[in-house]
């Protein structure tokens, strides 16, 4: 092919946007100039940040050190700010006094399946309600919103009746299926999809993308941050879900961690808080890991290419 | 299929009605007892036991169940984790009442059982006891009669407790007091300055649970000691001058800093921060383990004015007679002399059988644990609780809230008058019509 | 490659009485570059989107290669579109953006690769194929958007103001690139713009729209020389035409007193008053003693128009002088184009006369053209 002369070579030099580090440096510079309010304000700012940090961190810190304390050291005055002597007895206790690994496995299964179903359902229903045209779309959306308005406590009992009829009490499906309703996800993702630039969707349609390809290759990649946030909220919610699994489960065969950990508390007497704290710490770890992994993804999504310059 | 979905739907509707009750008070339901259609289901020969394992008693319960199954071939007991406290068991039971699949045996506390009885959701057991030839006279009378409602009994006492007066022997010595509890509240008041003088920085003479943590249970003792009470039968008596006097006494202790209110007094006591507390016998084991000083126990001040508490085991109404008979066989076994000893030694609750104390195992135990003996000796001096607290829906919470107001310095007469009115109103609207005339 | 035929195509938006696009009939030849131009809100973008299948048609039809497009899905129309915002897929590289449509059409990997490479070469995107839109400049993105359309080798290109997000200089160069590219590829192209300069420089023919109605479709030259009404006359041409409403007496129009004799057949069609239009280059300056003599009067009025200059734009190769007739300061401005530079200053008074035969005459009430 001969290089066409018609197509000019005039173009502005390819000015790549400044790298992230440069941008950050810019921000810092502008911040330092605009925040140049003297040492008093700076000090106040740091004090404020420290207070906020303490409010968040101290209870967490307390949970962790308590989990390493001996029973007699938990209630002492003055308070012990470092376990002395430190012991892993509480962790041993958690894993032996209650069937911790069973509860943990159940939590993983229930949270994994429920979250996956919720996310998939939420995304595809939101997709249908935002980007596909079909008769009665508005009504369907109204019904979904109405479902969002019904308090959890109302549905619990009717769900209980239904699941009990099916003979699903104390089974995974009995816990998972009623939890998999997704009004919130539908609502959130629909609004996200509606906020996408319409021209890109149209471009993809003109480019011959079918509905699934449009969703998978175009719509979802652009909705990554929202999807990750939604997923994270869903997973954390499912992980901490108490009422329904408690009503449905009878023993450690299907009961998840939040239900199982209550076995450590003494309802009519003195609770030994050491193992409770140890159990809490162990229950936090998977969510913490997931958060750290997804958080990186979330930032990646946020900085991905914008529409135009 | 069609039938199943229709019934499921109806059950759901009934459930919605039941939820209103759930939301209003965790302990009771206003739903009709006929809520769940599926309640009759259940495996033949399997007894489903819904327990919150009071006092972290799951291993003990399992051991007793094993013995039961060995003694009764053909019967199996399925132990279900039904919640972390009595309110959650009640909630789960309520869900089952509305949604179906009832258990055979359910743990019901002193404040939750009556609502179930009133709404015909748990069965009266007198006939069943007679058929099974269970000697009910061996049950500690006060405990057994706690479940008496219009001449029928609705549960057997199981995990029963009473408050106990705990004191820090080291501090007592320092204050120059005799090694015993106060005879009555006047004596305590006389002791208070000495105790206070012995206190160090950050310590307090007496700690009591606050209104959301059963202050209403402990205060009952104070009210009775002053000659008052919460109610006589169904008539509230908060405005009785003696009850008001008790309230003013509590307020006085709070005003001069003798008493402090706390979410968990047992924690502060174990840490040496409170010279004495009133606390359930169920905490005895924990406190003994946690405290780094010599723990003393005594009867509550005021002779014969100790309220009872804790939970019993009940049988749902809407299950087959065969299941009821099996269930009764199990709860009678669970609370027989031998097993009540096993259970109470592991948890700190009270033996519910009179003959229990004569068993060698119990004798040896009490010898080694004089503090546990205090609790058992006190059993003879217990008194059944007032209806306004345990039988009126929401009673405990209502009184607790009023007592919180008193502790904060509001006028006792006004607060108690309000309690009178509220209690009367609840009785009129929720209980009166259901009582047999 | 295809012909496009709009047959009284109409689009009404729900809740509006007026049609956004009102019975447009337009015959576009195979390989033609047709520009839709008009002020914003005139319905030009809607017309384009109707062709692409992104807007439904409420009346009439649109034929592509003689086939009615009613009910044909956008993805089945084989029409490629370049959007104003470029609408690039932000998560894909430039190469993936271009390959997306081919991928959807199940074109083989090797074929796709060669077509993308070819388009990249034409558009000089070779070095940028692995970049994502976020790290491309505006002009580069515009070229990726073009590339995405080119690789498909579609029946029709639709372009919706593809240059409006570029800076002025880049816009001029890209303008010629697109026109050249279209000529080379020979693909029927419908191009929407609100910029009449783009319209005049790029299109084989230009269709002028106003309020959803087609005003005139013609070559750029015809549009300029023979606008069918005052709207087209004033929309096309920069600086715009000077339009003066004038009384006609005995076949002579009086423009601020300047006598402009009308041709006989024109005068016959004119009523008592007409709108007379003068392009800036249709004037020439006459000295005070030149031409018709100083202030010489004919029977109907003066033979040159004295204007008082109130703005001079000097562009180097040419200058534009704006002024108002002396003694008629409330009247509309008169624009005069001068070769090269001028010594005229604001406040000067200059005499101008119109060139013979370059005067446009329109009906005063309808705005329609009367002169040939």
Residue C207 sits in a domain whose CATH number is 3.40.50.300
Residues A60 and A122 in one domain: no
Residue A243 lies in a domain: yes
- Binned at pLDDT 50, 70 and 90, residue A299 comes out as low
Residue A229 lies in a domain: yes
Nearest-10 crossing angle of helices A172-179, A152-165: 140
User: Do B23-160+309-358 and B163-307+384-434 have matching folds?
Assistant: yes
Chain A neighbors of C173, CB-CB under 8 A: 8, 10-11
Which of A202, A208, A217 has the CB atom closest to C54's CB atom?
A: A202
Residues C123 and C173 in one domain: yes
Residues A200 and A238 in one domain: yes
Residue A37's pLDDT is 66
Q: What percent of chain C has pLDDT over 90?
A: 62
The pLDDT of C233-251, averaged and rounded, is 90
The pLDDT of B116-144, averaged and rounded, is 91
Residue C320 sits in a domain whose CATH number is 2.40.50.140
**Residues A83, A87, A90, CA angle at the centre, nearest 5°?**
110
Residue A268's pLDDT is 64
- For residue A123, is pLDDT > 60? yes
Domain termination site, one of C189, C207, C234: C234
Query: Domain B23-160+309-358, CATH 3.40.190.10 — does that match?
Result: yes
Specify the range with the lowest mean pLDDT, choosing from A1-10, A204-213, C168-177, C273-282: A1-10
Residues C251 and C221 in one domain: no
Closest CA to A123 of A241, A222, A244, A197: A222
Chain C neighbors of A6, CB-CB under 8 A: 176-177, 179-181, 183-184
Residue A144's domain comprises 99-303
Alpha helices in A19-151 (DSSP H): 20-34, 38-66, 71-74, 89-97, 100-131, 137-149
Nearest CA-CA distance, residue A110 and chain C, Å = 32
Left, alpha or beta for B304 (phi > 0: left; psi -120 to 50: alpha)?
Answer: left
- For residue A23, is pLDDT > 50? no
Residues A151 and A257 in one domain: yes
**C-beta neighbour count of C287 within 10 angstroms:** 10
Residue C263's domain comprises 242-363
The pLDDT of A109-121, averaged and rounded, is 93
Residue A308 and residue C90 in contact, taking contact as beta carbons nearer than 8 Å = no
The pLDDT of B56-65, averaged and rounded, is 90
- For residue C112, is pLDDT > 90? yes
Residue B42's pLDDT is 55
**Residue that wins the pLDDT comparison between A147 and B25:** A147
Residues C122 and C87 in one domain: yes
Q: What residues of chain A, 125 to 144, have a C-beta less than 8 Å from chain C?
A: none
What is the C-alpha to C-alpha distance for residues B386 and B427, in angstroms, rounded to an integer? Answer: 13
Six-digit token pair at C58?
Answer: 């409420």
Six-digit token pair at C244?
Answer: 């003066």
Nearest CA-CA distance, residue B92 and chain A, Å = 6
Residues A60 and A123 in one domain: no
DSSP secondary structure, B2-67, as one string: HHHHHHHHHHHHHHHHHHHHHHH-TT---S-TT--SGGG---TTEEEEEE--TTT-HHHHHHHHHH
What is the C-alpha to C-alpha distance for residues C6 and C24, in angstroms, rounded to an integer? Answer: 6
Residues A164 and A283 in one domain: yes
DSSP secondary structure, C166-204, as one string: S-HHHHHHHHHHHHHHHHHH--EEEEEES-HHHHHHH-S
Residue B297 and residue B166 in contact, taking contact as beta carbons nearer than 8 Å = yes
Six-digit token pair at A147?
Answer: 């479902």
What is the C-alpha to C-alpha distance for residues C299 and C317, in angstroms, rounded to an integer? Answer: 39
Chain A neighbors of C183, CB-CB under 8 A: 6
- Binned at pLDDT 50, 70 and 90, residue C1 comes out as low
Residues A154 and A194 in one domain: yes
Residue A259 sits in a domain whose CATH number is 1.10.3720.10
Residues A43 and A153 in one domain: no
* A39-75 per-position pLDDT tens digit: 888 899 999 999 998 888 888 888 888 888 887 777 6
Chain C neighbors of A200, CB-CB under 8 A: 87-90
Could A202 and C141 be called an inter-chain contact, meaning their C-beta atoms sit closer than 8 Å? no
Count Cα atoms within 13 angstroms, Cβ side, for B287.
Answer: 33
Residues C326 and C226 in one domain: no
Domain termination site, one of C185, C213, C234: C234
Q: What percent of chain C has pLDDT over 70?
A: 95
Residues A249 and A147 in one domain: yes
Six-digit token pair at A46?
Answer: 């740091």
Specify the range with the lowest mean pLDDT, choosing from A17-31, B135-149, C136-150, C240-254: A17-31
Residue B311 and residue B86 in contact, taking contact as beta carbons nearer than 8 Å = yes
What is the C-alpha to C-alpha distance for residues B206 and B188, in angstroms, rounded to an integer? Answer: 10
Tally the domains of chain C.
Answer: 2
**Residues C42, C87, C64, CA angle at the centre, nearest 5°?**
60
Residue C370 lies in a domain: no
- For residue B18, is pLDDT > 70? no
Q: Is the dihedral of CA B427, B428, B429, B434 positive or negative?
A: positive
Closest CA to C24 of C76, C82, C63: C63
Residues A145 and A283 in one domain: yes
- For residue B31, is pLDDT > 50? no
Six-digit token pair at C44?
Answer: 């030009």
Could B4 and A262 be called an inter-chain contact, meaning their C-beta atoms sit closer than 8 Å? no
Residue A182 lies in a domain: yes
Domain termination site, one of C172, C199, C234: C234
The pLDDT of A226-244, averaged and rounded, is 89
Burial group, residue B5, by CB count within 10 angstroms (0-12, 13-18, 19+): exposed
Residues A117 and A68 in one domain: no
Residues C188 and C294 in one domain: no
- C-contacting chains (≥3 CB pairs under 8 Å): A
Average pLDDT, whole number, for chain A? 80
Residues A54 and A103 in one domain: no
Specify the range with the lowest mean pLDDT, choosing from A198-207, B4-13, C123-132: B4-13
Q: What percent of chain B has pLDDT over 90?
A: 49
Tally the domains of chain A.
Answer: 2
Residues C187 and C324 in one domain: no
Residue C316 lies in a domain: yes
Domain assignments of chain B as residue spans, ordered by start: 23-160+309-358, 163-307+384-434
Residues A78 and A125 in one domain: no
Query: Domain B163-307+384-434, CATH 3.40.190.10 — does that match?
Result: yes
Six-digit token pair at C233?
Answer: 């006359």
């Amino acid at each position: 092919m001969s290089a066409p002369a018609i197509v000019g070579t005039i173009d502005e030099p390819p000015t790549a946007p400044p790298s992230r580090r440069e941008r950050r440096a810019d921000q810092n510079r502008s911040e330092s100039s605009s925040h140049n309010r003297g040492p008093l304000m700076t000090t106040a700012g740091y004090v404020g940040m420290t207070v906020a940090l303490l409010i968040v961190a101290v209870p967490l810190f307390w949970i962790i050190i308590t989990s390493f304390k001996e029973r007699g050291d938990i209630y002492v005055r003055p308070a012990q700010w470092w376990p002395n002597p430190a012991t892993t007895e509480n962790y041993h206790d958690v894993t032996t006094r209650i069937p911790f690994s069973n509860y943990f496995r159940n939590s993983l299964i229930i949270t994994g399946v429920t979250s996956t179903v919720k996310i998939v359902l939420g995304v595809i229903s939101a997709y249908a309600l935002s980007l596909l045209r079909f008769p009665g779309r508005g009504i369907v959306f109204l019904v979904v919103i109405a479902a969002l308005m019904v308090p959890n406590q109302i549905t619990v009992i009717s769900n209980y009746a239904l699941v009990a009829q099916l003979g699903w009490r104390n089974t995974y499906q009995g816990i998972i299926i009623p939890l998999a309703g997704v009004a919130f996800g539908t609502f959130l993702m629909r609004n996200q999809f509606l906020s996408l630039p319409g021209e890109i969707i149209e471009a993809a349609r003109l480019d011959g993308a079918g509905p699934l390809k449009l969703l998978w290759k175009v719509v979802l990649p652009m909705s990554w941050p929202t999807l990750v946030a939604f997923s994270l909220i869903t997973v954390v919610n499912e992980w901490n879900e108490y009422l329904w699994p408690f009503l449905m489960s009878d023993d450690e065969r299907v009961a998840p961690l939040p239900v199982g950990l209550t076995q450590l508390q003494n309802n009519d007497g003195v609770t030994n808080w050491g193992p409770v704290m140890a159990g809490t710490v162990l229950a936090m770890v998977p969510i913490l890991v997931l958060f750290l992994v997804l958080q990186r993804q979330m930032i990646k999504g946020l900085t991905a290419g914008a529409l135009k310059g | 299929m069609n039938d199943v979905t229709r019934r499921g739907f109806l059950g759901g509707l009934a459930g919605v009605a039941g939820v209103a009750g759930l939301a209003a008070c965790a302990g009771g339901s206003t739903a009709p007892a006929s809520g769940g259609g599926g309640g009759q289901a259940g495996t033949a020969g399997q007894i489903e036991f819904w327990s919150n394992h009071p006092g972290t008693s799951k291993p003990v319960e399992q051991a007793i169940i094993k013995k039961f199954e060995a003694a009764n071939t053909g019967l199996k007991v399925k132990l279900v984790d039904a919640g972390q406290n009595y309110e959650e068991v009640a909630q789960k039971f309520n869900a089952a009442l509305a949604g179906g699949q009832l258990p055979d045996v359910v743990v019901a506390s002193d404040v939750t059982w009556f609502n179930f009885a009133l709404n015909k959701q748990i069965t009266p057991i007198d006939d069943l006891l007679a058929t099974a030839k269970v000697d009910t006279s061996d049950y500690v009378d006060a405990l057994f009669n706690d479940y008496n409602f219009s001449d029928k009994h609705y549960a057997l006492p199981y995990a029963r407790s009473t408050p106990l007066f705990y004191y820090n022997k080291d501090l007592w010595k320092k204050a120059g007091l005799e090694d015993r509890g106060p005879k009555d509240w006047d004596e305590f008041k006389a002791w208070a300055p000495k105790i206070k003088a012995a206190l160090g920085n950050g310590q307090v003479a007496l700690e009591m649970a606050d209104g959301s943590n059963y202050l209403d249970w402990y205060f009952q003792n104070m009210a009775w000691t002053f000659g008052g009470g919460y109610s006589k039968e169904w008539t509230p008596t908060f405005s009785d001058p003696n009850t008001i006097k008790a309230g003013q006494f509590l307020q006085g202790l709070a005003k001069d800093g003798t008493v402090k209110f706390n979410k968990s007094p047992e924690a502060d006591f174990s840490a040496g921060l409170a010279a004495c507390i009133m606390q359930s016998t169920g905490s005895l084991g924990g406190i003994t383990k946690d405290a780094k000083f010599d723990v003393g126990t005594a009867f509550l001040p005021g002779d014969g004015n100790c309220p009872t508490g804790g939970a019993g085991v009940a049988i749902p109404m809407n299950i087959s007679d065969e299941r009821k008979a099996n269930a009764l066989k199990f709860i009678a076994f669970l609370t027989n002399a031998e097993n009540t000893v096993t259970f109470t030694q592991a948890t700190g609750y009270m033996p519910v059988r009179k003959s229990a104390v004569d068993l060698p195992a119990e004798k040896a135990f009490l010898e080694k644990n004089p503090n546990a003996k205090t609790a058992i000796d006190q059993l003879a001096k217990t008194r059944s609780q007032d209806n306004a607290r345990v039988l009126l829906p929401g009673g405990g919470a209502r009184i607790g809230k009023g007592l919180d107001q008193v502790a904060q310095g509001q006028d006792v007469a006004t607060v108690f008058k309000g309690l009178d009115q509220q209690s009367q109103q609840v009785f009129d609207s929720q209980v009166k019509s259901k009582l047999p005339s | 490659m295809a012909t496009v035929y709009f047959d009284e195509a109409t689009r009404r938006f729900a809740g509006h009485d007026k049609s956004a696009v009102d019975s447009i009939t337009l015959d576009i030849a195979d390989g033609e570059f047709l520009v839709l131009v008009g002020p914003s809100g005139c319905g030009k973008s809607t017309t384009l989107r109707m062709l692409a299948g992104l807007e439904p048609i409420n009346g009439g039809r649109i034929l592509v290669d003689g086939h009615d497009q009613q009910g044909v899905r956008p993805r089945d129309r084989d029409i490629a579109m370049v959007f104003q915002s470029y609408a690039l897929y932000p998560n894909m590289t430039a190469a993936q953006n271009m390959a997306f449509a081919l991928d959807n059409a199940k074109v083989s990997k090797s074929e796709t690769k060669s077509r993308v490479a070819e388009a990249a070469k034409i558009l000089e995107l070779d070095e940028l194929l692995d970049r994502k839109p976020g790290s491309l400049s505006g002009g580069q993105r515009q070229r990726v958007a073009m590339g995405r359309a080119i690789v498909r080798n579609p029946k029709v290109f639709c372009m919706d103001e593809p240059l409006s997000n570029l800076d002025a200089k880049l816009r001029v160069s890209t303008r010629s690139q697109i026109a050249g590219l279209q000529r080379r590829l020979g693909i029927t192209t419908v191009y929407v713009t609100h910029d009449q300069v783009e319209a005049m420089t790029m299109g084989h023919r230009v269709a002028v729209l106003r309020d959803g109605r087609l005003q005139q479709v013609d070559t750029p030259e015809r549009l300029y020389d023979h606008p069918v009404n005052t709207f087209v006359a004033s929309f096309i041409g920069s600086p715009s035409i000077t339009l003066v409403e004038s009384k006609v007496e005995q076949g002579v129009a009086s423009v601020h007193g300047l006598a402009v004799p009308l041709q006989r057949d024109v005068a016959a069609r004119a009523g008592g008053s007409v709108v007379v239009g003068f392009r800036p280059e249709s004037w020439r300056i006459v000295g005070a003693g030149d031409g018709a003599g100083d202030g010489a009067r004919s029977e109907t009025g003066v033979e040159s128009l004295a204007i008082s200059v109130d703005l001079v734009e000097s562009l180097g190769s040419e200058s534009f002088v704006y002024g108002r007739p002396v003694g008629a300061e409330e009247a509309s401005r008169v624009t005069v184009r001068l070769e090269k530079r001028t010594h005229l200053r604001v406040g000067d008074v200059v005499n101008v006369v119109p060139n013979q035969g370059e005067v446009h005459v329109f009906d005063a009430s309808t705005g329609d053209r009367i002169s040939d």
